[in-house]
Chains A and B, each alone.
Chain A
Amino acid sequence: MSERERARQQDLMATIRGPAQPDEAPGLKAYRGHIRVVAGQVLRHTYPTVTAMVGEEAMAALGWRLWQDQGPTVGDLNEWGHGLSALLAEKVATSNDWHAWPCLIDVAHLDWACHQCERALDAPPELDTLALLGEADPDQLNIVLRPGVQCLQAHWPLWALWKAHQKDASPDALHALAHRLQQPLPHPEWLVVWRAPEGHLTAAGAVISPWVAQVAPLPASMAAWMSALCSSAQGAGTEHPRPTLAQLLDTQPADFDFSAWLTLALQQGWLWRIRNRGGGSRSA
């Protein structure tokens, strides 16, 4: 296939991602201007909390910088923008303007996790597979969380920050937080991100949207367990099978209460299914 066309396309792609030149063709300015706008739009959509904290103008600048450093490699731009937290970490480390805002890095992680969660496969809990817990050897069972469930460790009061930027937040929630952003937390907090299954209700009886990511703090006693489950899901594959229930339990502290976790996981809709490695989901 033509090397000339390959080179032409490569040159044009590089030109419109690079800095404007004084005497360049208006068409190049038009393409560059458009992708600058798109970069900002995509990041604002994906990172609503970060945007609320830094403003749209700063987000547009971050978007263009990220685009130039790590532009999208796929056509679905919803998949682009993962690098924002690393870019923010660099800004915090090197720029006086950003130095006072290390919490933004945690916020970016949370926004990205919510974004990913809201695009995850719709998978209702397979409650009939719970019977396997009483039937099969824990050495043969996997605990599988619903797609989109993620755990995050934060060094800043991320839960409070996130809540303060929700629509129903009290007007003085942010003001009340200000003093807590002076120092990192003495002990990191853990959050879980997930989508409620269809038909789930709040304690007050209101329907929870099955499409909007939910965020909640994880009890310290469950953080290591949930983190292990999330990690095992990310690394799982043919070459690296998920750790079994027995293997995961062996890594937990003696006071870990599996039953209490299971009750909460079912209430919240974190659990997808129990899988029997020796056979199907229901039983061997």
Chain B
Amino acid sequence: MKPGAVGIGLRAAHHDAFLAESPLVDFVEVHAENFMAAGGAARALLTAVRAQVPISLHGVSLGLGSAVGIDADHLRKLADLVETFDPLLVSDHACFCRAPLPGQTQVVHSADLLPLAFNEDSLAILTRNVDQVQHHLQRPILVENLSAYLRFDDDTLTETAFLGRLCRHSGCGLLLDVNNLVVNALNAEADDPVRVACEWLDALALEPGVHVGEIHLAGHRARQAHGALVIDDHSQAVNPTVWQVHDHARRHWPQAPRLIEWDVDLPDLDGLLAQAWLARDRP
């Protein structure tokens, strides 16, 4: 992929328009889970898209930090997608999604990206699982920093140290979501969320062995009420504060491809592409 490539998250509402218009994006990213069926329209669609443009497979449910481990069947399906569609990038999140309920042995899935404690034990779990996935896929993956609505008061590592060590121990790369940094800073009631997010990036850049393989850009809805959390809902154009953090991230990792995510209240394809062109035209 060319340095600083720009792509869009391709969602169902845009499938037909994308295939009809063949816009000149460098790549598209799809949620891997939407294409895991044995057959059907989704898989046929992905085949057609892949014939036009490189793809990135972004997972939302591996639960890389799950203490119970990775779902072997899910991993098998992901490996099948990787083999079939030869994606440029494969990624998921630094979160957990799988755990048994108290008193039960059956593991349930959260269908949400639940936060990890930043400590040695959690790091060991995440590293073990990332190792397993990479070994199975026979390729490195990218792990995305989370927008987290809970923090644990017994953390012993900073998030950047945690992610830096994950990279060094497992050989994975990072998918840097700059919107998540801004959302986290807002929810931490930071006086200057942009400064806090940029300092986070500076700390990450000091971690040796970190490879940022992709940058996610998205918008978030403004705080809905005093004291309410800002939700990372990908429902807006990229916020001005997020663009500022993006520009700072580019100073550290100018080669990393950028991707526009928009999942709720979607604009038409042209509206989404306009965001991608903004990313492409930034210095």
A interface, CB within 8 angstroms of B: 1-2, 4-6, 8-14, 16-17, 25-28, 30-31, 34-35, 38-39, 71-78, 118-123, 147, 211-212
B residues near A (Cβ < 8 Å) are 33-34, 36-41, 43-44, 59-63, 66-68, 71, 73-74, 77, 96-97, 99-102, 106-112, 114, 117, 119, 121-122, 124-125, 128, 148-150, 152, 227-229, 231
Among the listed A9, A73, A74, A119, which residue makes an inter-chain contact with B66, where contact means beta carbons less than 8 Å apart? A9
Contact status B61-A76, CB under 8 Å: yes
Given contacts A30-B149, A74-B71, A76-B77, contact A35 B40 (CB under 8 A): no
**The one of B41, B44, B97, B124 that contacts A75, using a Cβ cutoff of 8 Å:** B97
Q: How far is the CB of B255 from chain A (nearest CB, A)?
A: 31
Cβ contact within 8 Å between B40 and A75? no
CB <8 Å contact, A14 and B102: yes
* Residues on the B chain within 8 Å of A74, using CB: 71, 73-74, 109
- How far, in whole Å, are A25 and B149 apart by their CA atoms in the complex? 9
Q: A10-B102, A14-B102 are in contact. Are A38 and B111 (CB under 8 A)?
A: yes
Cα–Cα distance between A38 and B233 once the two chains are bound (Å): 13
The contact of B61 among A4, A14, A75, by CB within 8 Å, is A75
Cβ contact within 8 Å between B39 and A121: yes
- The closest CB in chain B to the CB of A67 belongs to B111
User: Which residues of chain B are near A13, meaning CB under 8 Å?
Assistant: 99-101, 108, 110, 114
B122 CB to closest chain A CB (Å) equals 5
Given contacts A75-B62, A78-B37, contact A6 B68 (CB under 8 A): yes
- Give Cα A8 to B34, complex, Å: 29
Contact A26 B39 (CB under 8 A): no
Could you name 27 residue pairs across A and B whose Cβ atoms are closer than 8 Å? Answer: A1-B121, A2-B125, A5-B121, A6-B67, A9-B67, A12-B99, A12-B114, A17-B108, A26-B149, A26-B227, A27-B149, A27-B229, A31-B149, A34-B112, A38-B112, A71-B108, A71-B109, A73-B108, A73-B109, A75-B63, A75-B74, A76-B37, A77-B33, A77-B61, A121-B38, A121-B39, A122-B40
- On chain B, the residues within 8 Å of A123 by CB distance are 39
CA–CA, A155 and B29, complex, Å: 45
User: Which residues of B sit under 8 angstroms from A76, Cβ to Cβ?
Assistant: 33, 36-37, 61, 74, 77
The binding surface of chain A is classed by DSSP as helix
Query: How many Å lie between the Cα of A248 and that of B71 in the bound state?
Result: 38
- Known: A5-B67, A27-B150, A76-B77; 15 extra A-B contacts, CB below 8 A, are A1-B124, A1-B128, A5-B117, A9-B66, A9-B67, A11-B102, A14-B101, A14-B102, A25-B150, A26-B227, A30-B149, A34-B231, A122-B39, A211-B40, A211-B41
Q: How many angstroms between the C-alpha atoms of A156 and B64 in the bound complex?
A: 46
Closest A residue to B66 by beta carbon equals A9
Shortest 6 CB-CB contacts between residues of A and residues of B: A75-B61, A2-B121, A27-B149, A119-B37, A211-B41, A122-B39
Contact B117 A119 (CB under 8 A): no
Alpha-carbon distance A71/B111, docked complex (angstroms): 9
A6 to chain B minimum Cβ distance, whole angstroms, is 4
Q: Which residues of B contact A122 (CB under 8 A)?
A: 39-40, 43-44
Whether A31 and B114, one on each chain, are in contact in the complex, defined by CB atoms closer than 8 angstroms, is: yes
Which B residue sits closest to A209, measured CB to CB?
B41
Q: Please, which residues of chain A bring their CB within 8 A of the CB of B122?
A: 2, 5
**In whole Å, how far is B159's beta carbon from the nearest beta carbon of chain A?**
16
Most buried by B among A13, A17, A122: A13
- Assembled-state Cα–Cα distance A171/B90 (Å): 47
Q: Across the interface, which residues of A come within 8 angstroms of B71, CB to CB?
A: 74-75
Bound complex: CA of A120 vs CA of B228, how far in Å? 43
Bound together, the chains give a CA A109 to CA B148 distance in angstroms of: 38
Measured CB to CB, the nearest residue on chain B to A122 is B39
- Tell me, in angstroms, the Cα distance from A47 to B5 when the chains sit together: 39
- Tell which of A2, A26, A31, A78 touches B112, judged by Cβ atoms closer than 8 Å: A31
Q: Which of the residues B44, B73, B125 comes within 8 Å of A1, measured between beta carbons?
A: B125
| A35–B109 touching, CB < 8 Å | no
Chain A residues lying within 8 Å of B44, measured Cβ to Cβ, are: 122, 211
Contact B74 A16 (CB under 8 A): no
